[in-house]
């Protein structure tokens, strides 16, 4: 029997998830929630870019989603600028007995480390009240910070450091809220964007660092942050905004998990909007975007991962990968015991099958 699912939000990640849910025979789509009134009433197939009628129309009412009684919702709503509201949304679904698999809020990748005790207690109570399960993951934060490193280090005699790096060119990324309001592209360097306010990087990636540490059997004593921001050499346009000369055009940050005074887990992002920015910073193995997992140990490893898609560029491919991890986890989330789960709690899940054999 197909798993009844509903999609929450249809932005860059949500529209990709929606297509997956419609096309995957494991699922029966029963609802779509949207934020904007102009999407309300439109068919899910249109919102997913498929050009087909599914018979499921979008609503702006969470009550409509609850009334549709899905087994699971796939939660892809923006949470960076609305973490309290996102947590409230998820609690409502859990308390109603609806499992949640999501790409956000990212601290819920590891609730034990990423969420304050009071907020976590409310989520746990809602999950137990409804007999439902919560799982949040993605690509970075996500499987490049937990599944891949753990698979690699599982072959090692000893591990001294794990470094997870995202290399990205965001020139084609069209979310103004993420690009400008969160990451600060096109803003003056004397203004600190949301992402680089003290503690925000740790809030975003610290949960992943603690999760990987738990998988490695160590405890992180301290998390440190380091940021470099690069100004634009001239004024130019990107998909989301105008980047004026002298405003932020790129950045590089590191969040480091210290264990007994040593930098054992490092998450790094090298982000540009032009290929010629900061040639002294490292580059992706694939033009535009890739991920790298480095293990210093016995043996040592360097794994470069570059996603590609016939439907979009490197930014699309990265979102596709993160969303695919979430959607493919839905059956395991539905089958799991009620509560808040992480990658360490769920079985490894793969794609539904080879095309033509379903």
Instruction: Give the pLDDT band of residue 220 (cuts 50, 70, 90).
Output: very high
- The per-residue pLDDT for range 7-43, each reduced to its tens digit, is 999 999 999 999 999 999 999 999 999 999 999 999 9
What is the predicted pLDDT for the residue at 354? 54
Residue 353 banded pLDDT, cuts 50, 70, 90: low
Dist CA 328 CA 347 (whole Å): 11
pLDDT tens digits for range 169-218: 999 999 999 999 999 999 999 999 999 999 999 998 999 999 999 999 99
Min mean pLDDT across 91-100, 112-121, 242-251 is at 112-121
Q: How far is the C-alpha of 64 from the C-alpha of 60, rounded, in Å?
A: 8
Asked whether the predicted pLDDT for residue 113 surpasses 70, the reply is yes
Report the side by side order of strands in the sheet with 27-33: 58-59, 27-33, 3-8, 72-75, 99-102, 133-136, 339-340
The larger pLDDT score, comparing residue 292 to residue 51, is at 292
| Whether the Cβ atoms of residue 49 and residue 63 lie closer than 8 Å to each other | no
Per residue in 60-80, pLDDT tens? 999 999 999 999 999 999 887
Looking at the predicted structure, is the pLDDT value of residue 349 above 90?
no
pTM, rounded to two decimals = 0.92
Of 66, 63, 26, 22, which Cα lies nearest the Cα of 46? 22
The predicted model gives 272-286 an average pLDDT of 94
Element (H, E) at 17: helix 12-23
Average pLDDT of span 149-165 = 97
């Amino acid at each position: 029997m197909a798993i009844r699912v509903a999609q929450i939000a249809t932005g860059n990640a949500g529209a990709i998830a929606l297509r997956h849910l419609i096309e995957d025979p494991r699922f029966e789509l029963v609802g779509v929630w949207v934020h904007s009134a102009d999407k309300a009433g439109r068919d899910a197939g249109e919102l997913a870019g498929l050009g087909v009628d599914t018979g499921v129309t979008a609503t702006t009412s969470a009550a409509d989603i609850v009334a549709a009684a899905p087994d699971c919702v796939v939660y892809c709503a923006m949470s960076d600028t609305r973490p309290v509201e996102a947590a409230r949304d998820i609690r409502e679904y859990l308390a109603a007995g609806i499992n949640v698999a999501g790409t956000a809020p990212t601290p819920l990748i590891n609730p034990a480390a990423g969420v304050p005790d009071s907020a976590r207690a409310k989520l746990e109570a809602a999950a137990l009240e409804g007999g439902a399960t919560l799982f949040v993951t993605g690509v970075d934060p996500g499987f490049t910070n937990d599944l891949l490193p753990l698979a690699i280090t599982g072959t090692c005699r000893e591990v001294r450091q794990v470094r997870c790096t995202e290399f990205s060119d965001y020139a084609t990324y069209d979310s103004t809220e993420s690009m400008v309001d969160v990451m600060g592209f096109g803003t003056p360097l004397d203004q600190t964007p949301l992402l680089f306010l003290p503690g925000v990087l740790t809030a975003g990636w610290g949960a992943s660092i603690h999760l990987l540490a738990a998988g490695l059997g160590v405890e992180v004593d301290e998390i440190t942050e380091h940021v470099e921001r690069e100004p634009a050499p001239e004024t130019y346009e990107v998909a989301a905004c105008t980047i004026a000369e002298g405003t932020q055009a790129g950045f590089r940050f590191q969040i480091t998990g210290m264990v007994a005074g040593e930098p054992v887990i490092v998450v790094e992002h090298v982000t540009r909007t032009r290929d010629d920015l900061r040639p002294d910073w490292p580059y992706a193995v694939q033009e535009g975007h890739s991920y790298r997992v480095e293990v210093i140990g016995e043996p040592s490893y360097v794994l470069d991962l570059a996603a590609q898609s016939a439907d979009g560029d490197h930014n699309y491919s990265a979102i596709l990968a993160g969303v695919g991890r979430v959607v493919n986890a839905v059956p395991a989330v539905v089958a799991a015991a009620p509560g808040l789960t992480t990658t360490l709690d769920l079985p490894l899940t793969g794609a539904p099958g080879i095309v033509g054999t379903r």
